[in-house]
Amino acid sequence: MSRLTRQLSDLYYAVTSIPKKVYQKLTRGFSDDEVWSLDSTIVKFTLPRLRQFEKEVHGYPYTVESLDNWKGMLLLMIHAMELYVEDMGGGILTEAEEELMKIGMDLFYEYFGSLWN
């Protein structure tokens, strides 16, 4: 398939799928596109909210020593999600970046119930 043919095919799909996507969003709150790559959808939803949460946080979990430590943990979670978005399964991260992503995602899992002000 030529490049132009592929671009026209992509454009046709985008234009013809808009009514379906709108209908899905109106009737169930999300479109099939959001389910196709659910990991991406979740990270892209969470990341800006986690960034804002880190800016506005007032307290911290009782298992964390201080607010500064909590903010550092939140920054690790944020960085992990940024790395996830950057990589998106492409295998472009270094071993060190993958380890940082794992640490941040593990913290997100561990403290998920503490993400409130």
Same domain, 62 and 106: yes
Same domain, 49 and 69: yes
Same domain, 16 and 54: no
Domain hosting residue 12, numbered range:
1-35
CA distance 91 to 117: 35
Same domain, 91 and 116: yes
Supply the pLDDT for residue 32: 86
Read off the pLDDT of residues 7-25 as tens digits, 9 standing for 90 and up.
888 787 777 888 888 889 8
Read off the pLDDT of residues 40-75 as tens digits, 9 standing for 90 and up.
999 999 999 999 999 999 999 999 999 999 999 999
What would you measure as the largest C-alpha separation in the chain, in angstroms?
59
Same domain, 22 and 68: no
The string of DSSP codes covering 32-98 is: HHHHHTHHHHHHHHHHHHHHHHHHH-----TTSS-HHHHHHHHHHHHHHHHHHHHHTTS--S-HHHH
Number of domains in the chain: 2
